[in-house]
Structure 1
Amino acid sequence: MTEVTRVPLQPIAKGSLTKLWLGVIVAILIGAGVAWAAVPAGVSVDELVAGSGGSPSEGDVAFVKYKGTLADGTVFDESGPSPFPPGIFPEGTPMLLQEGQLVDGFFQGIQQMERGGKYLLNIPAELAYGANPPPQSGIPANSDLIFEVELVDFMSQADAERKVMALQQAMEAQQGAQGGPGGPGGASGGPQGPPQGPPQGPPPGPQN
């Protein structure tokens, strides 16, 4: 009969159980803290209409409809019609989600939204324009900003660039068929590159 070598279990040192459970608790809290820390301190994202289908991340192009107001309800900016022909891109203003392209609070908050949802985004002054708002924006220095935002859709920057290239090629082909840039459907005034953010109004466009 083969003898089984028995290796005695070493007793757990005094206090180790406590340390073990503390480690497990810390790991759980860190995991839960991902959700708690998702929206940076000071930025609040309140859901008005639930979305679905995931959230955009840095490097994506988001298509949003928005209205920006001051704390007293004064509207200082809102999105306009899409700069692209219908059916090519989703409705809404295209915004490239990169640091420096949008005010920090908008850049951070929009990544917590889901496709198709509507939200109320509150941005403290230090994550908006601080003491230096854009000239003629109507935004007083050190103003907190409030945005009503609908995240219509989003896509990767690479997908957006491919769509723009396809659109440019289609417009050039149509231009050739119509006899030059002066004819109907010519390419003059067409998009000249991938979506880079909202029009040059104040927030949430690049103003840094």
Structure 2
Amino acid sequence: MLRYSAPLCLTLLFLTGCPPSSPEESSPSPADKAADSPAAQQPAEDGAAAKQAEAKGPLPAPPDVAAAPTDATTTESGLAYKVLTPGTSTEKPSATSRVTVHYTGWTTDGKMFDSSVTRGKPAVFPLNRVIPGWTEGLQLMVVGEKTRFWIPGKLAYGDTPRRPGAPAGTLVFDVELISFEAAPPPRKAPPMIAAPPDVAAAPADATTTESGLAYKVLTPGTGTDKPSSTSTVEVHYTGWTTDGKMFDSSVARGQKISFPLNRVIKGWTEGLQLMVVGEKTRFWIPGNLAYGETPARPGAPAGTLVFDVELFSFQ
């Protein structure tokens, strides 16, 4: 199924920060809400690290793993915590801080399901991209502190997680806050590119295919070969709705995009097979070849879309 996604990133992850409006069909985000696990953003272990973690084995659960003890503090949300080792600082992270931590997680029956400690490498992530229990809990900590958290299912992955393999119910974490830093400033919005004068409808000198796709060559190309439906192409593009509003542009971002033609909206798959390298073409893509007249995904551009596309290469 063709899906509306962030700009033509073939392996879209939840930290890309790409603007949401390009013609790509991509894999779903690996997170239901914000993150798969507190370590979801860590790179895959290399062979040596994996063997080392396996050799260490799971860390034993603490004696109070089944439930928070009476000397634990419980917040209004239901998060319980107990400081194991006091910290050395006074400042605390904010909800958007980027933190560096060591942690181990267990289910309440004592089974360890994740640990940066056994991997031998601290985890680094922004606090607004993890489970709610972590976002709340780590804002209570200072650098150097080690705290145990009992996070109820509603602040973790739920009592019946939607994601296969996610740990269910209350989770227990030992977390050591190594450092934190302020979140980077938000990215500036790309500059808007003015719509062409014929954005409202294809002109009389445009060619229309049997599918309803209309196109007009703006700059002839230098090649003779054309991409196939499975080629990977490198392009610059800008897209507008027919009322002249730009919704996406690799030109404005200053970065060409590469993607396979069988992973984009139908109008792109068909249209780019008509192009040669060096060519710049304008396409009027009807809704049935784009995201539809009433897109299923919130924010996807509806109806006929107009794209200026320049083909740089393909393979």
* TM-score, normalisation: structure 1: 0.48
More helix by share: 1
Does 1 or 2 have the higher relative contact order (CA < 8 Å, sep 6+)? 1
Q: TM-score of the superposition, structure 2-length normalised?
A: 0.33
Higher strand share: 2
